[in-house]
């Protein structure tokens, strides 16, 4: 099972656009698999808006694929989002990796947008069905608890015949949602053992639903830093993670050297995960670029040699 290593941003950790594009250009030239943008709409911390970022990446890059990690569907109109994804996929010549989720109930957007968190699962399921059908069908009629559509079409359709639909989350509902709609699954900070449990559950649920998801379409992510845990930027990031999630931060960070990062990758690979979103930790632009270069030079070649990619086999999903 070949491993793909992408890089991601949660908060916007750069001083401005010039530093961000330096980072993207380094990733493009350095063989990084993909770029991922965390989705946030409101808050005091700087975050790029996901769909705008996807459009900008489509214009800036030529090889890299890119995706949202993950768009909370209840915050967005599904018809507009389907159109945005299709447009970005067309203009990037098929490099978009859309990823969708239910959203954390603690996110400030629920109150800001006046949305009841109790409806988020049902609303997400309706959004997924609408988006999937708009990408594939010429005219869509839909009648649900939250959305009503009659004779809706979008054109052009996505370039990718079956535009990927990655689903996030590890609850039982997320497992069912992925088995029903997904072409891939992205862990949300789950440690390796928990990620392995979810992968197995999704595979069983998909089989029961008469579908299949490619074995190499299961993902996870963690932050990394070449150095030691006493570095202030690492301590702050780990403290913030533990406070935000209530989880032990150890599994969500790989701090040390290339061997440390490869060992953490191997823990996930052993339980069926092969797509990764790694987040460089650094205190300023130069530090983030330096961390990224170390990953490109010392981890990517060893990961490619250890887990070489194999020719793609057509999925039987549908």
Per-residue pLDDT of 14-33, as tens digits, reads 999 999 999 999 999 999 99
Take residue 282 and report the two structure tokens written for it: 């650094």
Return the DSSP state at 118: G
All residue ranges of the chain with pLDDT < 70 are 1, 311-318
For the chain, domain boundaries = 1-32+182-318
Is 0.75 topped by the overall pTM? yes
313, 1 contact by CB (below 8 A): no
Per-residue pLDDT of 80-109, as tens digits, reads 999 999 999 999 999 999 999 888 888 889
Residue 185: the pLDDT is 95
Which ranges of the chain does DSSP label H, i.e. alpha helix? 17-30, 50-60, 78-91, 109-113, 120-136, 172-181, 192-208, 232-245, 258-269, 285-298, 300-306
Residue 202: the pLDDT is 97
């Amino acid at each position: 099972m070949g491993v793909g290593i992408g890089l991601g941003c949660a908060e916007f950790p750069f001083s401005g656009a010039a530093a961000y594009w330096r980072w993207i250009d380094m990733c493009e030239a350095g063989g990084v698999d993909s770029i991922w943008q965390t989705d946030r709409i409101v808050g005091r911390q700087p975050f790029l808006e996901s769909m705008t970022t996807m459009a900008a990446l489509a214009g800036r890059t030529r090889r890299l694929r890119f995706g949202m990690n993950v768009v909370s569907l209840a915050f967005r109109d599904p018809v507009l989002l389907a159109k945005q994804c299709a447009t970005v996929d067309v203009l990037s010549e098929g490099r978009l990796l859309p990823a969708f989720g239910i959203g954390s109930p603690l996110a400030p957007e629920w109150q800001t947008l006046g949305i009841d968190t109790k409806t988020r699962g049902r609303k997400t399921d309706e959004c997924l069905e609408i988006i999937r059908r708009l990408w594939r069908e010429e005219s869509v009629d839909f009648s649900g608890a939250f959305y009503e559509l009659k004779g809706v079409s979008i054109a052009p359709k996505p370039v990718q015949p079956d535009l990927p639909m990655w689903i996030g989350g590890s609850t039982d509902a997320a497992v069912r949602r992925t088995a029903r709609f997904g072409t891939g699954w992205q862990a949300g900070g789950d440690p390796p053992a928990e990620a392995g449990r979810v992968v197995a559950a999704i595979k069983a649920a998909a089989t029961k639903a008469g579908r299949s998801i490619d074995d190499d379409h299961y993902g996870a992510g963690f932050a990394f830093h070449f150095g030691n845990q006493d570095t202030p930027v690492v301590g702050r990031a780990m403290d913030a993670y533990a406070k935000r999630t209530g989880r032990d931060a150890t599994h969500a960070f790989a701090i040390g050297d290339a061997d440390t990062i490869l060992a953490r990758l191997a823990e996930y690979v052993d339980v069926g995960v092969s797509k990764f979103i790694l987040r460089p930790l650094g205190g300023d632009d130069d530090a983030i670029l330096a961390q990224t270069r170390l990953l490109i030079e010392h981890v990517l070649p060893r990961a490619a040699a250890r887990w070489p990619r194999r020719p793609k086999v057509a999925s039987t999903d549908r």
